[in-house]
Amino acid sequence: MIKFTKESSVSIDDVLHLYQAVGWTNYTNQPQMLEQALSHSLTTYLARDGEEIVGLVRLVGDGFSSVFVQDLIVLPSYQRQGIGSSLMKEALADYKDAYQIQLATEQTEKNLGFYCSLGFETLSIYDCTGMIWVDRKKFK
């Protein structure tokens, strides 16, 4: 049976396997960045099957005007079982009074369908566009 918990801090040793399992090399190739990111998160929700951590959703932000869903990961062998939805629903319930909850995701039918099923909308609905600044020198 999957159990869900809200954590104020999470160790990289407990969750690195999740990032590795889904191939998020930006984190796995820079474990020191992931460690810092985890320690500065607003909160993290974990899904456990017994002692094994099988999923997480990590939030950043101030918790009042802006909350950003930074990472949502479920081990591939546990996907399509409602774990990701349950993690997101816990987070959305806890931050229901926040002005806005945002996220960025790959623009695939699967991802868009998943997040829309949870009530997220594309920014274009509000006549907005998303923007990003990345120090590209770090990736050369």
Model pTM score: 0.91
pLDDT at 76 over 70: yes
Q: So what's the pLDDT on residue 6? A: 97
Q: So what's the pLDDT on residue 96? A: 96
Q: So what's the pLDDT on residue 3? A: 97
Average model confidence (pLDDT) across the chain: 94
Cα–Cα distances in angstroms (integers) from residue 67 to residues 8, 53, 95, 106, in the given order: 15, 23, 8, 19
Cα–Cα distances in angstroms (integers) from residue 109 to residues 9, 38, 101, 134, in the given order: 33, 29, 21, 25
Q: So what's the pLDDT on residue 140? A: 56
Cβ neighbours, 10 Å, residue 21: 16
Residue 107 to residue 32: CA distance in whole angstroms: 28
pLDDT at 20 over 70: yes
Mean pLDDT across the stretch 63-87? 97
Mean pLDDT across the stretch 42-69? 97
Q: So what's the pLDDT on residue 134? A: 85
Q: So what's the pLDDT on residue 57? A: 98
Strand partners, 4: 47
- DSSP assignment of the chain equals -EEEEEES---HHHHHHHHHHTT-HHHHT-HHHHHHHHHT-SEEEEEEETTEEEEEEEEEE-SSSEEEEEEEEE-GGGTTSSHHHHHHHHHHHHTTTSSEEEE-----HHHHHHHHHTT---GGGGT--------GGGG-
Task: For residue 93, report the phi and psi dihedrals to the nearest 5 degrees.
Answer: -65, -45
pLDDT digits (tens, 9 = 90+) for 112-129: 999 999 999 999 999 999
Q: So what's the pLDDT on residue 139? A: 60
pLDDT at 85 over 70: yes
pLDDT digits (tens, 9 = 90+) for 59-71: 999 999 999 999 9
Side chain identity, residue 123? L
